[in-house]
Amino acid sequence: MTKRVAVVGGGIIGTAVARELTRRLPGVDLTLFEKETGLARHQTGRNSGVVHAGLYYEPGSQKARLCRRGVGLLTEFAEEHSIAHKICGKVVVARTETEVRFLRNILNRAVANGVPGVELLSPAALRDIEPHVEGMAALHSPTTSIIDYVAVTEALAREVVLAGGTIKLGTRVTRLAFQGGLVRVTSCPTSDPTSDLASAESATYDLVVTCAGLHSDRLAPRAGDQPRIIPFFGTYLEVSEPRAHLVRGLVYPVPDPRYPFLGVHLTPTVDGRLLLGPNAFLALDREGYVARAFNPRDVVDILGFRGFWRFAASNTRAAARELAGVLTPRFLVRDAQTMFPDLRPADVAPAGRGVRAQAVTPAGRLLDDFAIRSSGPLVEVLNAPSPGATASLAIAEHIVNEALAVSA
Protein backbone atom coordinates (compact mmCIF):
# COMPACT_ATOMS: atom_id res chain seq x y z
CA MET A 1 0.00 0.00 0.00
CA THR A 2 1.29 3.47 -0.89
CA LYS A 3 2.26 5.49 2.14
CA ARG A 4 0.61 8.92 2.42
CA VAL A 5 2.77 11.59 4.01
CA ALA A 6 2.29 15.32 4.65
CA VAL A 7 4.87 17.96 5.53
CA VAL A 8 3.68 21.29 6.90
CA GLY A 9 5.96 24.26 6.20
CA GLY A 10 7.89 25.31 3.11
CA GLY A 11 11.00 26.72 4.71
CA ILE A 12 14.35 25.04 4.21
CA ILE A 13 13.76 22.41 6.92
CA GLY A 14 10.28 21.40 5.75
CA THR A 15 11.41 21.23 2.13
CA ALA A 16 14.49 19.22 3.12
CA VAL A 17 12.28 16.78 5.05
CA ALA A 18 9.97 16.40 2.05
CA ARG A 19 12.92 15.71 -0.25
CA GLU A 20 14.42 13.18 2.19
CA LEU A 21 11.09 11.33 2.41
CA THR A 22 10.85 11.03 -1.37
CA ARG A 23 14.41 9.68 -1.44
CA ARG A 24 13.85 7.12 1.31
CA LEU A 25 10.30 6.10 0.37
CA PRO A 26 10.17 5.67 -3.41
CA GLY A 27 6.62 6.06 -4.68
CA VAL A 28 5.42 7.83 -1.53
CA ASP A 29 2.30 9.99 -1.91
CA LEU A 30 3.74 13.18 -0.43
CA THR A 31 2.18 16.62 -0.04
CA LEU A 32 4.03 19.68 1.21
CA PHE A 33 1.73 22.43 2.54
CA GLU A 34 2.95 26.04 2.56
CA LYS A 35 0.67 28.92 3.48
CA GLU A 36 2.61 31.49 1.45
CA THR A 37 2.54 31.74 -2.34
CA GLY A 38 6.26 30.93 -2.45
CA LEU A 39 8.81 28.96 -0.46
CA ALA A 40 11.35 30.30 2.07
CA ARG A 41 9.39 33.49 2.76
CA HIS A 42 10.14 33.71 6.49
CA GLN A 43 13.20 32.68 8.54
CA THR A 44 14.90 30.86 5.64
CA GLY A 45 14.80 33.88 3.37
CA ARG A 46 15.44 36.53 6.02
CA ASN A 47 18.74 35.54 7.60
CA SER A 48 22.34 36.47 6.83
CA GLY A 49 23.14 33.31 4.85
CA VAL A 50 25.87 31.97 7.13
CA VAL A 51 26.76 28.27 7.03
CA HIS A 52 27.83 27.77 10.64
CA ALA A 53 30.82 25.52 11.27
CA GLY A 54 29.75 24.40 14.77
CA LEU A 55 31.83 26.61 17.05
CA TYR A 56 29.45 27.41 19.85
CA TYR A 57 27.36 24.34 20.55
CA GLU A 58 27.52 22.02 23.54
CA PRO A 59 29.46 18.91 22.45
CA GLY A 60 27.09 15.99 22.03
CA SER A 61 24.02 18.19 21.64
CA GLN A 62 21.75 17.85 18.62
CA LYS A 63 22.89 21.28 17.49
CA ALA A 64 26.53 20.19 17.50
CA ARG A 65 25.98 16.84 15.82
CA LEU A 66 23.47 17.95 13.21
CA CYS A 67 25.33 21.16 12.41
CA ARG A 68 28.57 19.33 11.60
CA ARG A 69 26.72 16.71 9.55
CA GLY A 70 24.66 19.44 7.90
CA VAL A 71 27.68 21.44 6.73
CA GLY A 72 28.91 18.53 4.64
CA LEU A 73 25.50 17.69 3.21
CA LEU A 74 24.72 21.32 2.41
CA THR A 75 28.06 21.88 0.68
CA GLU A 76 27.65 18.75 -1.44
CA PHE A 77 24.11 19.76 -2.38
CA ALA A 78 25.19 23.30 -3.32
CA GLU A 79 27.99 22.02 -5.54
CA GLU A 80 25.71 19.45 -7.19
CA HIS A 81 23.12 22.12 -8.02
CA SER A 82 25.52 25.01 -8.77
CA ILE A 83 24.15 27.11 -5.91
CA ALA A 84 26.14 30.19 -4.93
CA HIS A 85 28.26 29.56 -1.84
CA LYS A 86 31.65 30.77 -0.65
CA ILE A 87 34.13 29.76 2.05
CA CYS A 88 35.04 33.18 3.47
CA GLY A 89 36.17 32.30 6.99
CA LYS A 90 35.09 33.83 10.27
CA VAL A 91 36.69 35.58 13.23
CA VAL A 92 35.04 35.75 16.65
CA VAL A 93 36.52 38.81 18.32
CA ALA A 94 37.09 39.23 22.07
CA ARG A 95 37.07 42.86 23.21
CA THR A 96 37.57 42.41 26.98
CA GLU A 97 39.45 40.05 29.31
CA THR A 98 36.15 38.39 30.22
CA GLU A 99 35.43 37.76 26.55
CA VAL A 100 38.92 36.28 26.10
CA ARG A 101 38.01 33.68 28.76
CA PHE A 102 34.71 32.98 26.98
CA LEU A 103 36.63 32.67 23.72
CA ARG A 104 38.76 29.86 25.15
CA ASN A 105 35.57 28.01 26.08
CA ILE A 106 34.33 28.41 22.49
CA LEU A 107 37.65 27.05 21.22
CA ASN A 108 37.28 23.97 23.43
CA ARG A 109 33.76 23.37 22.13
CA ALA A 110 34.83 23.86 18.52
CA VAL A 111 37.65 21.33 18.87
CA ALA A 112 35.34 18.84 20.60
CA ASN A 113 32.82 19.28 17.78
CA GLY A 114 35.44 18.55 15.13
CA VAL A 115 35.47 22.00 13.52
CA PRO A 116 38.52 21.99 11.23
CA GLY A 117 41.35 24.51 11.43
CA VAL A 118 40.16 26.60 14.37
CA GLU A 119 42.81 28.57 16.25
CA LEU A 120 43.20 31.44 18.69
CA LEU A 121 44.69 34.61 17.23
CA SER A 122 46.72 37.37 18.84
CA PRO A 123 45.84 40.97 17.90
CA ALA A 124 48.64 40.94 15.33
CA ALA A 125 47.50 37.64 13.83
CA LEU A 126 43.92 38.96 13.70
CA ARG A 127 45.14 41.96 11.69
CA ASP A 128 46.85 39.63 9.23
CA ILE A 129 43.47 38.05 8.45
CA GLU A 130 41.26 41.12 8.92
CA PRO A 131 43.45 44.25 8.70
CA HIS A 132 40.65 46.62 9.74
CA VAL A 133 39.32 44.58 12.68
CA GLU A 134 40.56 45.13 16.24
CA GLY A 135 40.35 42.99 19.36
CA MET A 136 42.27 41.63 22.34
CA ALA A 137 42.11 38.15 20.79
CA ALA A 138 40.07 36.26 18.22
CA LEU A 139 39.04 32.77 17.23
CA HIS A 140 39.52 31.99 13.54
CA SER A 141 37.32 29.46 11.75
CA PRO A 142 38.75 29.27 8.22
CA THR A 143 36.03 26.93 6.86
CA THR A 144 32.93 28.96 7.81
CA SER A 145 31.02 29.88 4.66
CA ILE A 146 28.04 31.74 3.22
CA ILE A 147 25.29 30.52 0.91
CA ASP A 148 21.99 31.42 -0.76
CA TYR A 149 19.45 29.55 1.39
CA VAL A 150 16.50 30.52 -0.79
CA ALA A 151 18.21 28.93 -3.81
CA VAL A 152 18.86 25.79 -1.73
CA THR A 153 15.18 25.59 -0.76
CA GLU A 154 14.03 26.01 -4.34
CA ALA A 155 16.42 23.28 -5.53
CA LEU A 156 15.15 20.92 -2.81
CA ALA A 157 11.59 21.64 -3.93
CA ARG A 158 12.44 20.80 -7.54
CA GLU A 159 13.70 17.39 -6.40
CA VAL A 160 10.47 16.83 -4.46
CA VAL A 161 8.38 17.53 -7.56
CA LEU A 162 10.61 15.42 -9.82
CA ALA A 163 10.14 12.53 -7.40
CA GLY A 164 6.34 12.83 -7.71
CA GLY A 165 5.62 14.95 -4.64
CA THR A 166 3.02 17.72 -4.56
CA ILE A 167 3.71 21.22 -3.24
CA LYS A 168 0.55 23.10 -2.30
CA LEU A 169 1.40 26.78 -2.06
CA GLY A 170 -1.08 29.29 -0.67
CA THR A 171 -2.57 26.54 1.51
CA ARG A 172 -2.78 26.97 5.27
CA VAL A 173 -3.06 23.98 7.59
CA THR A 174 -5.64 24.89 10.23
CA ARG A 175 -5.93 21.71 12.29
CA LEU A 176 -4.26 18.39 12.98
CA ALA A 177 -6.10 15.56 14.73
CA PHE A 178 -5.25 11.95 15.48
CA GLN A 179 -7.63 9.47 13.89
CA GLY A 180 -6.81 5.91 14.74
CA GLY A 181 -3.22 5.37 13.67
CA LEU A 182 -3.38 8.24 11.20
CA VAL A 183 -3.34 12.05 11.33
CA ARG A 184 -6.14 14.10 9.80
CA VAL A 185 -4.96 17.33 8.22
CA THR A 186 -7.45 20.14 7.63
CA SER A 187 -6.39 22.96 5.32
CA CYS A 188 -7.83 25.88 3.44
CA PRO A 189 -6.63 28.52 0.99
CA THR A 190 -4.56 31.19 2.76
CA SER A 191 -6.61 33.77 0.86
CA ASP A 192 -9.67 32.69 2.89
CA PRO A 193 -9.26 34.60 6.18
CA THR A 194 -12.34 33.00 7.77
CA SER A 195 -11.30 29.35 7.30
CA ASP A 196 -14.75 28.92 5.79
CA LEU A 197 -16.00 25.33 5.90
CA ALA A 198 -16.88 25.52 2.22
CA SER A 199 -13.23 26.06 1.30
CA ALA A 200 -11.68 23.68 3.86
CA GLU A 201 -10.26 20.32 2.81
CA SER A 202 -9.49 17.37 5.01
CA ALA A 203 -7.46 14.20 4.43
CA THR A 204 -5.73 11.53 6.50
CA TYR A 205 -2.03 10.67 6.33
CA ASP A 206 0.13 7.83 7.61
CA LEU A 207 2.80 10.33 8.70
CA VAL A 208 2.75 14.10 9.21
CA VAL A 209 5.83 16.21 9.91
CA THR A 210 5.32 19.82 10.99
CA CYS A 211 8.12 22.31 10.29
CA ALA A 212 6.07 25.42 10.90
CA GLY A 213 8.80 27.70 12.26
CA LEU A 214 7.23 30.84 13.68
CA HIS A 215 3.91 28.99 14.12
CA SER A 216 5.28 25.65 15.31
CA ASP A 217 3.49 25.83 18.67
CA ARG A 218 0.03 26.42 17.19
CA LEU A 219 -0.79 23.34 15.14
CA ALA A 220 -0.97 20.42 17.56
CA PRO A 221 -2.91 20.33 20.86
CA ARG A 222 -0.81 21.96 23.57
CA ALA A 223 0.50 20.02 26.51
CA GLY A 224 0.89 21.93 29.76
CA ASP A 225 4.67 21.93 29.62
CA GLN A 226 5.02 22.58 25.90
CA PRO A 227 7.35 25.41 24.93
CA ARG A 228 5.78 28.40 23.23
CA ILE A 229 7.20 30.57 20.46
CA ILE A 230 8.25 34.06 21.47
CA PRO A 231 9.22 36.02 18.34
CA PHE A 232 12.32 38.23 18.33
CA PHE A 233 12.96 40.57 15.44
CA GLY A 234 16.39 41.55 14.20
CA THR A 235 17.21 44.59 12.07
CA TYR A 236 19.88 44.46 9.35
CA LEU A 237 21.86 47.36 7.93
CA GLU A 238 23.86 47.33 4.70
CA VAL A 239 27.37 48.76 4.74
CA SER A 240 28.12 50.90 1.70
CA GLU A 241 31.31 51.36 -0.27
CA PRO A 242 34.16 51.91 0.36
CA ARG A 243 33.75 50.42 3.86
CA ALA A 244 32.13 47.21 2.58
CA HIS A 245 35.39 45.93 1.10
CA LEU A 246 37.38 46.53 4.27
CA VAL A 247 36.05 43.25 5.71
CA ARG A 248 37.20 40.03 4.08
CA GLY A 249 35.06 37.48 5.91
CA LEU A 250 32.57 37.12 8.75
CA VAL A 251 33.28 39.20 11.86
CA TYR A 252 31.41 38.26 15.06
CA PRO A 253 31.68 39.39 18.68
CA VAL A 254 31.99 36.86 21.48
CA PRO A 255 28.36 36.00 22.32
CA ASP A 256 26.92 36.44 25.77
CA PRO A 257 26.68 32.84 27.08
CA ARG A 258 23.41 33.65 28.86
CA TYR A 259 21.51 34.02 25.57
CA PRO A 260 21.19 31.98 22.35
CA PHE A 261 21.85 35.07 20.21
CA LEU A 262 25.23 35.63 18.57
CA GLY A 263 25.39 39.41 18.72
CA VAL A 264 25.62 42.10 16.06
CA HIS A 265 28.03 40.89 13.37
CA LEU A 266 29.36 41.75 9.93
CA THR A 267 28.39 39.33 7.17
CA PRO A 268 29.42 39.36 3.51
CA THR A 269 26.72 37.87 1.28
CA VAL A 270 27.05 35.71 -1.82
CA ASP A 271 25.74 38.60 -3.94
CA GLY A 272 28.56 40.91 -2.83
CA ARG A 273 26.94 42.99 -0.09
CA LEU A 274 28.07 43.47 3.53
CA LEU A 275 25.38 43.29 6.21
CA LEU A 276 25.54 44.53 9.79
CA GLY A 277 23.22 43.03 12.39
CA PRO A 278 20.93 41.71 13.60
CA ASN A 279 19.92 42.90 17.03
CA ALA A 280 17.35 40.85 18.97
CA PHE A 281 14.21 42.42 20.44
CA LEU A 282 10.70 41.26 21.22
CA ALA A 283 8.47 41.29 18.11
CA LEU A 284 4.78 42.11 18.42
CA ASP A 285 4.04 40.26 15.19
CA ARG A 286 5.42 36.83 14.27
CA GLU A 287 5.63 38.00 10.68
CA GLY A 288 6.40 41.65 11.42
CA TYR A 289 8.98 42.70 8.87
CA VAL A 290 8.23 46.41 9.00
CA ALA A 291 8.60 48.93 11.81
CA ARG A 292 5.72 49.09 14.31
CA ALA A 293 4.25 45.79 13.10
CA PHE A 294 1.52 44.65 15.49
CA ASN A 295 -0.59 41.49 15.49
CA PRO A 296 -3.22 41.32 18.26
CA ARG A 297 -3.27 37.53 18.41
CA ASP A 298 0.50 37.34 18.70
CA VAL A 299 0.56 39.97 21.45
CA VAL A 300 -2.15 38.19 23.43
CA ASP A 301 -0.21 34.93 23.15
CA ILE A 302 2.93 36.62 24.47
CA LEU A 303 1.28 38.46 27.35
CA GLY A 304 -0.82 35.45 28.36
CA PHE A 305 2.19 33.13 28.64
CA ARG A 306 3.74 32.96 32.09
CA GLY A 307 7.04 31.83 30.61
CA PHE A 308 7.42 35.20 28.88
CA TRP A 309 7.01 37.13 32.12
CA ARG A 310 9.53 34.92 33.90
CA PHE A 311 12.01 35.42 31.08
CA ALA A 312 11.38 39.18 30.94
CA ALA A 313 11.81 39.65 34.69
CA SER A 314 15.37 38.32 34.58
CA ASN A 315 16.43 40.11 31.39
CA THR A 316 15.49 43.76 31.81
CA ARG A 317 19.08 45.00 31.43
CA ALA A 318 19.61 43.10 28.17
CA ALA A 319 16.24 44.33 26.87
CA ALA A 320 17.20 47.95 27.56
CA ARG A 321 20.48 47.48 25.68
CA GLU A 322 18.74 45.95 22.67
CA LEU A 323 16.06 48.65 22.69
CA ALA A 324 18.72 51.28 22.00
CA GLY A 325 19.59 49.50 18.75
CA VAL A 326 15.92 49.38 17.82
CA LEU A 327 15.44 53.11 18.31
CA THR A 328 18.39 54.18 16.17
CA PRO A 329 20.89 52.43 13.89
CA ARG A 330 23.63 54.55 15.48
CA PHE A 331 23.74 52.15 18.44
CA LEU A 332 24.23 49.13 16.19
CA VAL A 333 27.09 50.96 14.49
CA ARG A 334 28.58 51.89 17.87
CA ASP A 335 28.52 48.23 18.89
CA ALA A 336 30.24 47.19 15.66
CA GLN A 337 32.84 49.94 16.03
CA THR A 338 34.35 48.10 18.99
CA MET A 339 35.57 45.55 16.41
CA PHE A 340 35.56 47.58 13.21
CA PRO A 341 36.54 51.15 14.17
CA ASP A 342 36.54 52.46 10.58
CA LEU A 343 32.75 52.12 10.39
CA ARG A 344 30.66 55.30 10.61
CA PRO A 345 26.88 55.85 10.91
CA ALA A 346 26.88 57.44 7.45
CA ASP A 347 28.21 54.17 6.00
CA VAL A 348 25.03 52.16 6.64
CA ALA A 349 21.49 52.04 5.28
CA PRO A 350 18.44 49.93 6.30
CA ALA A 351 18.43 46.45 4.79
CA GLY A 352 15.26 44.88 6.20
CA ARG A 353 14.58 42.69 9.19
CA GLY A 354 13.95 39.10 10.10
CA VAL A 355 11.96 37.46 12.89
CA ARG A 356 13.38 34.54 14.84
CA ALA A 357 11.17 31.86 16.35
CA GLN A 358 12.51 31.32 19.87
CA ALA A 359 10.95 28.55 21.95
CA VAL A 360 10.51 29.43 25.63
CA THR A 361 9.46 27.06 28.39
CA PRO A 362 6.76 27.88 30.97
CA ALA A 363 9.64 28.34 33.45
CA GLY A 364 10.97 31.18 31.30
CA ARG A 365 13.98 29.31 29.94
CA LEU A 366 15.04 29.81 26.32
CA LEU A 367 15.44 26.47 24.57
CA ASP A 368 18.96 26.44 23.16
CA ASP A 369 18.98 23.04 21.43
CA PHE A 370 16.79 21.73 18.64
CA ALA A 371 13.52 20.26 19.92
CA ILE A 372 11.80 17.55 17.85
CA ARG A 373 8.85 15.64 19.30
CA SER A 374 7.38 12.40 17.97
CA SER A 375 3.86 11.25 18.83
CA GLY A 376 3.23 8.13 16.76
CA PRO A 377 2.43 9.27 13.21
CA LEU A 378 3.05 12.96 14.06
CA VAL A 379 6.53 14.51 14.21
CA GLU A 380 6.80 18.16 15.30
CA VAL A 381 9.83 20.41 14.95
CA LEU A 382 9.19 22.63 17.98
CA ASN A 383 12.47 24.56 17.99
CA ALA A 384 15.03 24.89 15.20
CA PRO A 385 16.90 28.17 15.69
CA SER A 386 20.35 28.91 14.28
CA PRO A 387 22.07 26.78 13.00
CA GLY A 388 18.78 25.30 11.76
CA ALA A 389 19.35 26.31 8.14
CA THR A 390 22.93 24.98 8.19
CA ALA A 391 21.73 21.70 9.69
CA SER A 392 18.57 21.43 7.56
CA LEU A 393 19.59 18.40 5.49
CA ALA A 394 20.91 16.62 8.59
CA ILE A 395 17.73 17.47 10.52
CA ALA A 396 15.75 15.95 7.65
CA GLU A 397 17.86 12.77 7.84
CA HIS A 398 17.33 12.59 11.61
CA ILE A 399 13.56 13.08 11.38
CA VAL A 400 13.11 10.50 8.63
CA ASN A 401 15.34 7.98 10.43
CA GLU A 402 13.24 8.35 13.58
CA ALA A 403 9.93 8.23 11.71
CA LEU A 404 10.86 5.11 9.75
CA ALA A 405 12.15 3.38 12.88
CA VAL A 406 8.81 3.96 14.64
CA SER A 407 6.79 2.68 11.67
CA ALA A 408 9.01 -0.37 11.06
* Cα–Cα distance measured from residue 166 to residue 213, given in angstroms and rounded to the nearest whole number: 20
The backbone torsions φ and ψ at residue 105, rounded to the nearest 5 degrees and listed phi first, read -65, -40
* Cα–Cα distance measured from residue 234 to residue 254, given in angstroms and rounded to the nearest whole number: 18
Say what percent of the chain tops pLDDT 90.
83
pLDDT tens by residue, 237-289:
999 999 999 999 999 999 887 766 778 899 999 999 999 989 888 999 999 99
Q: Is 369 left (phi over 0), alpha (psi -120 to 50) or beta?
A: beta
pLDDT beyond 60 at 199 = yes
* Cα–Cα distance measured from residue 397 to residue 108, given in angstroms and rounded to the nearest whole number: 27
pLDDT tens by residue, 95-151:
999 999 999 999 999 999 999 999 999 999 999 999 999 999 999 999 999 999 999
Q: What is the pLDDT of residue 322?
A: 66
pLDDT beyond 60 at 223 = no
Residues 6 or more apart whose Cβ sits within 8 Å of residue 297 = none
* Cα–Cα distance measured from residue 275 to residue 329, given in angstroms and rounded to the nearest whole number: 13
**CA distance to 12, 44, 156, 323, per residue, from 151 (Å):** 10, 10, 9, 33
pTM: predicted TM-score of the whole model, two decimal places: 0.95
Q: Which domains does the chain have, with CATH numbers?
A: 4-45+151-226+368-407 (3.50.50.60), 90-142 (no CATH), 228-366 (3.30.9)
* Cα–Cα distance measured from residue 16 to residue 65, given in angstroms and rounded to the nearest whole number: 17
The backbone torsions φ and ψ at residue 214, rounded to the nearest 5 degrees and listed phi first, read -65, -15
The alpha carbon of 82 is separated from its chain's Cα centroid by a whole number of angstroms, namely 23
Q: Is 247 left (phi over 0), alpha (psi -120 to 50) or beta?
A: beta
